[in-house]
Amino acid sequence: MTEQKALNLTVTGAKSAPAPAGAPKMKTDGLSIYYGAFRAVAEVSMPVPDRKITAIIGPSGCGKSTLIRSLNRMNDLVSGSHIDGKVTLDGEDLYGPGVDVVDVRRRIGMVFQRPNPFPKSIYDNVAFGPRLYGRVPKAELDDIVERSLSRAALWDEVKDKLKQSGMALSGGQQQRLCIARAIAVEPEVILMDEPCSALDPVATIKIEELMQELKKDYAIVIVTHNMQQAARVSDFTAMMMMRPDRAGEMIELSDTQMIFTKPKDKRTEDYVSGRFG
Amino acid sequence: MSTETASVTTSPRDRMRVRRVKTSVARERARRFVNAGMLGLTGLATLIALTPLVWIIVEVITRGAPALTLDFLTQTFKPTSLGGGGIWHSIVGTLILITIASAISIPIGILAAFYVVQHPNTTLGLAVRFGTDVLSGLPSIVVGLFVYTLLVAGRSYTAISGAVALAIMMAPIVLRTTEEMLKLVPRSMREASLGLGAPEWKTSFSIMLPAAITGVVTGLMLAIARVSGETAPLLFTAQGSNVLSTSLDHPIASLALTLYKYAVDPDKVRNSQAWAIALIILFIVFSLNIGARFIASRRAK
Assess if CATH 1.10.3720.10 describes domain B70-300.
yes
pLDDT digits (tens, 9 = 90+) for B45-80: 999 999 999 999 999 999 999 989 898 999 988 888
Average model confidence (pLDDT) across chain B: 88
pLDDT of residue B17: 82
Cα(A35)–Cα(A78) distance, rounded to whole angstroms? 8
pLDDT digits (tens, 9 = 90+) for B180-217: 999 999 888 999 999 998 888 889 998 999 889 888 99
pLDDT digits (tens, 9 = 90+) for B230-277: 999 999 899 888 888 888 889 999 999 999 999 999 988 899 999 999
Cα(B228)–Cα(B277) distance, rounded to whole angstroms? 12
- The minimal CB distance from A182 to the residues B189, B196, B207 is found for B196
- Position A49: which residue type? P
pLDDT digits (tens, 9 = 90+) for A148-173: 998 888 898 998 999 998 898 998 89
A260 half-sphere exposure, CB direction, 13 A CA radius: 18
Task: Give how far Cα B238 sits from Cα of B55, B166, B244, Å.
Answer: 31, 10, 13
Cα(B165)–Cα(B151) distance, rounded to whole angstroms? 10
User: In the beta sheet, which residues pair with residue A46?
Assistant: A28
Specify the higher pLDDT residue, B26 or A85. A85
Domain assignment present for residue A169? The answer is yes
All residues of chain B having their beta carbon less than 8 Å from the beta carbon of residue A182 are 195-196
pLDDT of residue B299: 63
φ, ψ of residue B261 to 5 degrees: the values are -65, -45
Closest alpha carbon to A232 in A253, A252, A190, A260: A260
CATH of the domain at A166: 3.40.50.300
Q: What is the mean pLDDT of residues A242-251?
A: 86
pLDDT digits (tens, 9 = 90+) for A47-94: 999 899 999 998 888 888 999 999 999 988 887 888 988 899 988 899
pLDDT of residue A123: 93
- The minimal CB distance from B195 to the residues A103, A110, A120 is found for A110
Mutate to test the interface with B, among A10, A11, A81, A105 (most CBs of B within 10 A): A105
pLDDT of residue B58: 95
CA distance A44 to chain B (A): 23
pTM score: 0.76
CB pair distance less than 8 Å for B191 and A74:
yes
Mutate to test the interface with B, among A78, A118, A174, A185 (most CBs of B within 10 A): A118
All residues of chain B having their beta carbon less than 8 Å from the beta carbon of residue A192 are none
Question: Taking CA atoms, what residue in A is nearest to B121?
Answer: A79
CB pair distance less than 8 Å for A117 and B121:
no
CB pair distance less than 8 Å for B202 and A132:
yes
CB pair distance less than 8 Å for A119 and B210:
yes
Average model confidence (pLDDT) across chain A: 85
Task: Give how far Cα B20 sits from Cα of B13, B25, B109, Å.
Answer: 11, 9, 61
CB B290 within 8 A of CB B222: no
Question: Taking CA atoms, what residue in B is nearest to A186?
Answer: B196
All residues of chain A having their beta carbon less than 8 Å from the beta carbon of residue B186 are 116
CB B182 within 8 A of CB B208: yes
3-class DSSP state of A239: strand
CA distance B222 to chain A (A): 26
CA distance B192 to chain A (A): 7
Burial B4-30 (b: 16+ CB within 10 A, else e): eeeeeeeeeeeeeeeeeeeeeeeeeee
pLDDT of residue B293: 86
Counting the structural domains of chain A, the total is 1
Mutate to test the interface with A, among B115, B118, B196, B301 (most CBs of A within 10 A): B196
B1 has a pLDDT exceeding 50: no
ipTM of the complex: 0.81
Cα(B270)–Cα(B286) distance, rounded to whole angstroms? 24
- DSSP-derived letter for residue B85 is B
CB A68 within 8 A of CB A245: no
CA distance A233 to chain B (A): 24
pLDDT digits (tens, 9 = 90+) for B113-155: 999 988 888 899 899 989 998 988 889 999 999 999 999 888 8
Mutate to test the interface with B, among A11, A35, A99, A102 (most CBs of B within 10 A): A102
A17 has a pLDDT exceeding 80: no
3-class DSSP state of A240: strand
All residues of chain A having their beta carbon less than 8 Å from the beta carbon of residue B197 are 102-107, 129, 132, 185
Burial B244-274 (b: 16+ CB within 10 A, else e): bbeeeebbbbbbbbbbbbbeeeeeeebebbb
B82 has a pLDDT exceeding 90: no
All residues of chain B having their beta carbon less than 8 Å from the beta carbon of residue A132 are 196-199, 202
pLDDT of residue B63: 93
CB pair distance less than 8 Å for A128 and B198:
yes
Domain assignment present for residue A238? The answer is yes
Domain assignment present for residue A277? The answer is no
- H helices of A189-255, in order, are 201-214, 227-233
CB pair distance less than 8 Å for B121 and A79:
yes
- Position A241: which residue type? M
CB pair distance less than 8 Å for A182 and B195:
yes
Burial B92-104 (b: 16+ CB within 10 A, else e): bbbebbbebbbeb
Question: Could you tell me how many CB contacts below 8 A there are between chain A and chain B?
Answer: 62
pLDDT digits (tens, 9 = 90+) for B274-297: 999 999 999 999 999 898 888 878
A246 has a pLDDT exceeding 90: no
pLDDT of residue A8: 41
CB pair distance less than 8 Å for A132 and B197:
yes
pLDDT digits (tens, 9 = 90+) for A181-198: 999 988 999 999 999 888
CB A55 within 8 A of CB A233: yes
Task: Tell me the residue range of the domain where A52 lies.
Answer: 2-272
Domain range summary for chain B, segments of one domain joined by + = 2-66, 70-300
